Amino acid sequence: MKFIGKILDVKKQTLDTVTLRIKVPEDFDFVPGQFINAIAKVDGKNVARAYTISSAPHEKFIEITVKKQGLFSGYLHSLKKNDEIQIMGPLGLFKFEKTDKDIVFVIGGCGIGAAISMLRFLAANKMKNKAYLFYSCRTFDDAAFKDELDSYEKKGMLKQIITLTRSQKEGCEIGRINDVLLKKHLKDIPSKVFYLCGPVIMVQDIVNMLEKLGVSKDRIKIERW
């Protein structure tokens, strides 16, 4: 589906990350984990970029969370309420699948959008799964959706483990996500379902790690860029 979406709201997540709320047609539907292409003319060229949907399907809009790191993302950061942008989607095979197993999100950077969409879906449908979030950020200030993640943790539906690669903060782990970190916070690792979303090298390293820990391939869902 291709349509023109109106910007309903712009919310600042971190110093260089915003969430755009976009109006969609009534028949727009997606599965948590999927993405859209945002399309616009930037610097005289038609450009399309993929962004994971961070809202949940029951909401009457979509949200995308954008880190400012280039011309196109800079353009998206310049958009204001009532501006319009062309959208194509939903796209992608990275989709949440209902299960009675514990769910583990292993996330790098802006991959958090996929986890947020799935967590909102779990909460809206009052699903009983226990969820774990391993969230790798450069610094604590780069952690998006922190208030929302805290609210899920207070409700007992989520345990969040934030690990920082370029700084330190009390209550956070240090360094990249590895097998030692997973073993520290998870019991019976092979019994869980894993959703990985992040840079290509990070995701492939974690896939290899999980397979060595005895997790079957059908329990590892991946999205990478």
Print the SS3 string covering the chain.
CEEEEEEEEEEEEECCEEEEEEECCCCCCCCCCCEEEEEEEECCEEEEEEEEECCCCCCCEEEEEEECCCHHHHHHHHCCCCCEEEEEEEECCCCCCCCCCCEEEEEEHHHHHHHHHHHHHHHHCCCCCCEEEEEEECCHHHCCCHHHHHHHHHCCCEEEEEEECCCCCCCCEECCCCHHHHHHHCCCHHHCEEEEEECHHHHHHHHHHHHHCCCCHHHEEEEEC
- pLDDT band at 110; cut points 50, 70, 90: confident
Residue pLDDT, tens place only, 61-73: 999 999 999 999 9
Residue pLDDT, tens place only, 117-150: 999 999 999 999 999 999 999 999 999 999 999 9
CATH number of the CATH domain containing 113: 3.40.50.80
Report the predicted TM-score, pTM, of the whole model to 2 decimal places. 0.95
Q: What is the pLDDT of residue 25?
A: 97
- pLDDT band at 40; cut points 50, 70, 90: very high
In a domain, 97, yes or no: no
Q: What is the pLDDT of residue 121?
A: 97
Q: Are residues 199 and 122 in the same domain?
A: yes
Q: Are residues 112 and 79 in the same domain?
A: no
Instruction: Report how many domains make up the chain.
Output: 2
- pLDDT band at 39; cut points 50, 70, 90: very high
Q: Are residues 116 and 51 in the same domain?
A: no
Cβ proximity of 193 and 217 under 8 Å: no
Q: Are residues 83 and 157 in the same domain?
A: no
In a domain, 87, yes or no: yes
- pLDDT band at 225; cut points 50, 70, 90: confident
Q: What is the mean pLDDT of residues 99-127?
A: 96
Both tokens assigned to 139: 């610094």
In a domain, 98, yes or no: no
Cβ proximity of 180 and 174 under 8 Å: no
Is the pLDDT at 208 greater than 90? The verdict is: yes
Q: Rg of the chain's alpha carbons, rounded to an integer?
A: 17
Residue appearing with tokens 């869902």? 221
CATH number of the CATH domain containing 45: 2.40.30.10
